[in-house]
Structure 1
Amino acid sequence: MYIYYKRFFVAVWGIKRATFRGSLSVGKFEMKIIGEVIVFVCLIVGSQGQWLDEHCGSGGSTSCPWLAAIYIWDPQKWETYFHCTGTLITDRFILTHAIPNTRIGYIFARLGATYDDAPTSQWYTTESLTMHPNFENNGKHIKNDISLIKLNRKAEFNALISPICLFHSKSQNQKQLQRQIADSTLEFTFSGWTKPFFTSNSKVLKSTMVVRLNPQLCSNAIEDPLEWNQICGETDSDELCFRNSGGPLEMVINKWGKNESVLLGILSYGTGSCGDPDVFTDILSHSDWIASIVRDQ
């Protein structure tokens, strides 16, 4: 407990300092402190009842055990092709971007792999696909780019397969704290699949840091207005430009003494050029909709 109290006083000092200087002028360091103390208070005040799945997380056993590769069957070519990335959120559901105009039986998910043809891979067929009812795509601007894939059976959890943590609570106080945590996070981790060599068809799991961008600056850069339930970010890495829509945007918190990742966004779209800003669907703004699908089925 001494460690927690020590972190608490340091964090409170950071908040007082940030308040004195003004919320719009605080630097990255102070904002990080604000995020940390909010996480701390949130976990201490009520650890139970703030997760979609209380047993989420990897326990630090491996990196990205929730990452899924989504494949679609092409009946004309008589083969499956890699379509996008997804994130396991329970033992039956994968969260990804919207997948319109696709038959349920043509969608497959692979879990437990860090590279193509890994012997640890587990393959699943799809029982249902639920897209957000307000999904829109006019060819450039995309809204509510999110869907849920229900697997045909429960995922077999192990060191390489486990669900990521998602904030969800019925308490308005908890929801406000969770929103403050998400909005004060300036740096994230994004994970997806990349080709290690330009001529290679194989894919390996990679992660990179993403920095949050000011919404107005982002809108100007991509020449498209940002929605209130979207996050804009950029990275210096050009390794993850290969069809990673639906990939997870994560932050790390301390859950029961272990560092765990929390899903805050999924990749929606960008300009199509590596190095340009990308737009992510804000997951917290859709948490009630996600919970209604997951718990009703």
Structure 2
Amino acid sequence: MEKSYFLVPILLLCLFIEDVVSRRRHYRGKSSDVKKSYNKIVGGYNTTIQDVPYQVYLLLQMGTDYYQCGGSIISERYILTAAHCLTGITRIYIRAGSTLADSGGTQYNTSRYRQHPFYNPMNSDYDVGIINVPSGITLDGVNTRAVPLPKAGTKINNGTNVLVTGWGDTTENGQVSENLMGVQVPTVSNEECRRSYSTLTSRQFCAGVPEGGKDSCQGDSGGPAVETDTGTQLGIVSFGSGCARPGTPGVYTNVPKVRRWIKMNSGV
């Protein structure tokens, strides 16, 4: 599936983040990414921020263009997301504490972020980044709360159910969602996943159902994949071939495998 670029016109400097964040678009891919689709929620259900208070909406500015991604609160000052969401970005607008993408909650903005130095855009290896919010995010424990992270080296067993959330497309080549959505999918073995993605690395894992119909999609990139039993974030939405296709799971960054880098750069 070839990626499209969704552009918005330049905004006047006097417009505040409420106006900026209302102009939602997918994150981009590259024209050479014929099969790769930087991901959304398909086959899921409406949820609320109270159910996933660690989820944040990101609007990323590159020059005069804006792109959508997701992220997760890992502390008062740091958000976890995908490295590919941050490439070439000049400013990041954040909405935290809201079920809706275009209103509610609290808005923050920053230009401070880091991508993993080994991030490889060709195969999405080490697809992890952190965003620093110097002013701090107000964590009220109800609408905003940090998500627990696993210890480095934690094994992700096959068949582990993860909850993936975001405001991305609800069908392949579809429209982004205004309401926060979630979908639960089981992890699959890397051996099985390599039938669809031959370049899969040990810093990645896959999740999906054989019959398709449930997946993340465009606009969900960078969002969390959280183990349903423990509430621990095991993955970061990275990419997939199309969305929710049969026999084609979504690919996620394996958080335990990049845990030391997260700790070193965020203190979390």
Q: For the residues of structure 2 that align with 1:195 and 1:184, how far apart are their CA atoms?
A: 26
Note if 1:211 corresponds to 2:186: yes
* Correspondence for 1:193: 167
Query: Equivalent residues in 2 for 1:27-38 (5 A)?
Result: none
Unaligned stretches of 5+ residues in structure 1:
1-60, 169-174, 254-259
Q: For the residues of structure 1 that align with 2:218 and 2:88, how far apart are their CA atoms?
A: 22
Q: Which amino acid aligns with 2:113?
A: L
* Correspondence for 2:145: 162
Judged with a 3 Å threshold, the aligned counterparts in structure 2 of structure 1 residues 150 and 274 are, in CA distance, closer, same or farther, namely same
Judged with a 3 Å threshold, the aligned counterparts in structure 2 of structure 1 residues 89 and 237 are, in CA distance, closer, same or farther, namely farther
Query: Equivalent residues in 2 for 1:99-110 (5 A)?
Result: 99-103=86-90, 106-110=91-95
Given that residues 194 and 204 in structure 1 are in contact (C-alpha distance below 8 angstroms), is that contact kept between their aligned partners in structure 2?
A: no
Match of 2:119 among 128, 135, 145: 135
* Correspondence for 1:291: 263
Q: Which amino acid aligns with 2:109?
A: T
* Correspondence for 1:55: none
Q: For the residues of structure 1 that align with 2:232 and 2:260, how far apart are their CA atoms?
A: 16
Deviation at 1:133, TM superposition (A): 0.8
Given that residues 57 and 101 in structure 2 are in contact (C-alpha distance below 8 angstroms), is that contact kept between their aligned partners in structure 1?
A: no
Given that residues 58 and 92 in structure 2 are in contact (C-alpha distance below 8 angstroms), is that contact kept between their aligned partners in structure 1?
A: yes
Unaligned stretches of 5+ residues in structure 2:
1-48
Match of 2:76 among 91, 105, 115: 91
* Correspondence for 1:221: 196
* Correspondence for 2:208: 234
* Correspondence for 1:265: 235
State the structure with more CA Rg: 1
Q: For the residues of structure 2 that align with 1:117 and 1:289, how far apart are their CA atoms?
A: 32
Match of 2:51 among 46, 63, 75: 63
Deviation at 1:233, TM superposition (A): 1.1
Deviation at 1:89, TM superposition (A): 0.4
* Correspondence for 1:243: 219
Judged with a 3 Å threshold, the aligned counterparts in structure 2 of structure 1 residues 130 and 74 are, in CA distance, closer, same or farther, namely closer
Given that residues 194 and 239 in structure 1 are in contact (C-alpha distance below 8 angstroms), is that contact kept between their aligned partners in structure 2?
A: no
Q: Secondary structure of 2:262's match?
A: helix
Structure number with the higher helix fraction is 1
Structure number with greater CO (CA < 8 Å, separation at least 6) is 2
* Correspondence for 1:40: none
Q: For the residues of structure 2 that align with 1:188 and 1:76, how far apart are their CA atoms?
A: 36
Given that residues 60 and 69 in structure 2 are in contact (C-alpha distance below 8 angstroms), is that contact kept between their aligned partners in structure 1?
A: no
Q: Which amino acid aligns with 1:151?
A: V
Note if 1:152 corresponds to 2:134: yes
Deviation at 1:187, TM superposition (A): 1.6
Q: For the residues of structure 1 that align with 2:118 and 2:242, how far apart are their CA atoms?
A: 24
The percentage of counterpart residues that share the same residue type is 22
Judged with a 3 Å threshold, the aligned counterparts in structure 2 of structure 1 residues 190 and 201 are, in CA distance, closer, same or farther, namely closer
Q: Which amino acid aligns with 1:100?
A: T
Deviation at 1:291, TM superposition (A): 0.8
Q: Which amino acid aligns with 1:289?
A: W
Q: Secondary structure of 1:220's match?
A: coil
Deviation at 1:231, TM superposition (A): 0.7
* Correspondence for 2:40: none
Judged with a 3 Å threshold, the aligned counterparts in structure 2 of structure 1 residues 186 and 252 are, in CA distance, closer, same or farther, namely closer
Coordinate RMSD, CA, aligned: 2.6
* Correspondence for 2:23: none
Deviation at 1:201, TM superposition (A): 6.0
Given that residues 183 and 214 in structure 2 are in contact (C-alpha distance below 8 angstroms), is that contact kept between their aligned partners in structure 1?
A: no
If the length of structure 1 is used for normalisation, what is the TM-score? Answer: 0.64
Judged with a 3 Å threshold, the aligned counterparts in structure 2 of structure 1 residues 194 and 243 are, in CA distance, closer, same or farther, namely closer
**Number of residues of Structure 1 aligned to a counterpart in Structure 2:** 212
Judged with a 3 Å threshold, the aligned counterparts in structure 2 of structure 1 residues 185 and 150 are, in CA distance, closer, same or farther, namely farther
